[in-house]
Structure 1
Amino acid sequence: MNFFLETLRVIALLLYYLLESLVFLVVPRPKKNVSGEIVLITGAASGIGRCLSIKFARLGATLVLWDINQEGLKETVRLARENGAARVHCYICDCSKRQDVYNVADQVKKEVGDVNILVNNAGIVTGKTFIDSPDSLVEKTMEVNTMAHFWTYKAFLPAMIATNHGHLVSIASSAGLCGVTRLSDYCASKFAAVGFAESIDVEMRSLGKTGIKTTIVCPYIINTGMFDGVKTKWPHVLPVLDPEYVAEKIVTAVRQNQEMLLIPRILYVLFALKGILPVKAAVLLLDYFGAFNLMDTFKGRPKKD
């Protein structure tokens, strides 16, 4: 195809996709049925992982729940069954360890079957300045928040490719789209998670595997205890988010094959501005919205005795 025809084709498709997006702002996208699908959720013992487990249970999905917290995992299983889950399977898995992921993944394939929807949700946060962050915690942050995604994709993506059917969900963060003080390792891990998920999405499209969908989730702070103590500067504009609300948005995005989900909606505007404004102007906005002092009151999830 020559340059002129290719350019015309791209312009026409750009206009079509823009119009399609505007229509979907008014008319809800159709939702796919996830009943009977095998949904694997990492970090399922608490927080967003538990909320997602319950919501997928109500939709009739077969649940595969991973975490290192056995007691929390048992409680999630109980709640999932109370909410209609017919099949729930839980496994103790340290997602930061590659071989552990591969071993448990093999167990899942034998005992449950091929995973259809993979939700990489497990995450940790250090909450210290870069200089004060111990090397071991920096490495752990990257292993859990980023490298675990590589190992779970390696384990479950081949079956999705073989059937051209599946959904890859990356629970990233708004901190994966801009830098925040005292979150250098966390931001780095979430930036990497976003880039990795986008790259795999493009790779699947280039292979013609259009039946494999990707949803990247970038929420602001969620009230799960992970960021306990953090106070947002303008709560009416950027509120600390309710886990139930976020989980409902994520499940809806998955069912509608939405590629990118930013919560709350104002983040779409802020990150669009970040991409076009001069650096000093973008930094000014970050300061205005509290990125410089967001973590000053950070305590984190209380450690059990």
Structure 2
Amino acid sequence: MAPNLNSVKNLFVFLGKSVFALLEVMVFTFIPRPQKSVAGEIVLITGSGSGLGRLLALKFARLGSVLVLWDVSKEGNEETSKMAWEAGATKVYTYTCDCSRKEEVYRVADQVKKEVGDVSILINNAGIVTGKKFLDCPDELMEKSIDVNFKAHLWTYKAFLPAMIANDHGHLVCISSSAGLIGVNGLADYCATKFAAFGFAESVFMETFAKKQNGVKTTIVCPFFINTGMFDGCTTGRTRNC
């Protein structure tokens, strides 16, 4: 009898929270939340050497954040740094890092902690697209996609989340994709990695929520097509690029 009562209780709790969440969404649709100040926050952006990562760096530069830029391309990252200074950044630190390599992530993370301080906003943005059908994609390319698009999130969280918890202050940002919500023809490996990144970020959020580590926030972003050149040459079975 007790298990059945618990099940009923859990159902009502779930329904109550669902109704509250729906009402909250409706309220904040008409009454926007105040914007979060990121001035002075140490913001680490992976994949900052081009595309969305560069755009994020420029935005945070204008908002007064301390920028920590990671990219596998030293030249691209230095160009982003230059643009960030021109956009009004006050502090910019650049690091060459291949996020697909766990040991390299941990090594560069330790360097950041010593030279800059505790990262308070972590943006896992680095990503690659093979643009090949599943059976046409070599194993090594699929493994690289998994390492960059998903596994890198594990290593960066391991490196920077403990300090956020200790400081009761931090923000984890996962750049997933609309392809992390629904399968797309011609993007099997990419979709798999973005589904994984979404699920991982959501699960860690649930862990921090359950432990009442309320100072650590989570944001999961699922963009549609962004014209940054990342998907050039990739087709979904239609005539246009995906």
Q: TM-score range by the shorter chain?
A: over 0.9
Q: Distance in 1 between matches of 2:24 and 2:233?
A: 41
Match of 2:45 in 1: 41
In the alignment, the residues of structure 2 paired with residue 14 and residue 136 of structure 1 have an alpha-carbon distance, to the nearest angstrom, of 43
Structure 1 CA distance for aligned equivalents of residues 186 and 37 of structure 2: 41
| Mapped partners of 1:298, 1:89: distance in 2 | 35
Normalised to the residue count of structure 1, the TM-score between the two structures is: 0.74
* Aligned-residue offset at 1:122: 0.4
Contact 1:36–1:60, Cα closer than 8 Å, also in 2 = yes
Matching residue within 218, 222, 227 for 2:226: 222
Decide which of 7, 16, 32 is 1:28's aligned counterpart. Answer: 32
Identify if the C-alpha distance between structure 1 residues 82 and 175 changes in structure 2 by more than 3 Å, giving closer, same or farther. same
Structure 1 unaligned spans of 5+: 232-291, 300-305
Q: What do you get for the CA RMSD once the two structures are aligned?
A: 1.9
Cα distance in 1 for residues equivalent to 2:241 and 2:198: 24
Partner of 1:164: 168
Q: Residue by residue, what CA displacement relative to the aligned partner does 1:194-252 show, whole Å, maximum 9, x if unpaired?
A: 01001100011011101111111111111000112568xxxxxxxxxxxxxxxxxxxxx
User: Which of residues 125, 129, 134 is equivalent to 2:129?
Assistant: 125
Instruction: Find the partner of 1:193 among 180, 194, 197.
Output: 197
Structure 1 residue 19 corresponds to structure 2 residue 23: yes
Alignment partner of 1:207 is 2:211: yes
- Which amino acid is 1:190 matched to? K
What letter corresponds to residue 107 of structure 1 in structure 2?
Answer: Q
Structure 2: 5+ residue stretches without partners: none
TM-score (norm. length: structure 2): 0.93
Task: Go from structure 1 to structure 2 and tell me whether the alpha carbon gap of 1:293 and 1:107 turns closer, same or farther (over 3 Å shift).
Answer: same
Match of 2:82 in 1: 78
| CA offset digits 1:113-164 (Å, max 9, x no partner) | 0000000000000111111101110000000000000000000000011112
1:63 aligns with 2:7: no
Q: What SS does structure 2 have at the residue aligned with 1:33? A: coil
Q: Which amino acid aligns with 1:197?
A: A
Deviation of the 1:14 alpha carbon: 2.9
- Tell me the equivalent position of 2:108: 104
**Aligned twin of 1:293:** 237
| Percent of paired sites with the same residue | 59
Separation (CA, whole Å) in 2 of partners of 1:15 and 1:184: 35
Give CA-to-partner distance per residue, 1:257-280, whole Å, 9 cap, x none.
xxxxxxxxxxxxxxxxxxxxxxxx
How far apart in 2 are the matches of 1:229 and 1:45?
20
Residue pair 2:120, 2:171 contacting (<8 A) in 1 also: yes
Alignment partner of 1:145 is 2:89: no
Q: Measure the CA separation in 1 of the matches of 2:117 and 2:148.
A: 24
Per-residue CA deviations over 1:163-194 (Å, capped at 9, x if unaligned) read 12111111111111111111111011111000
Whole-Å separation in 2 of the counterparts to 1:230 and 1:131:
15
1:9 deviation in Å? 4.7
Aligned residues, how many?
Answer: 238
Cα drift, residue 36 of structure 1: 0.5
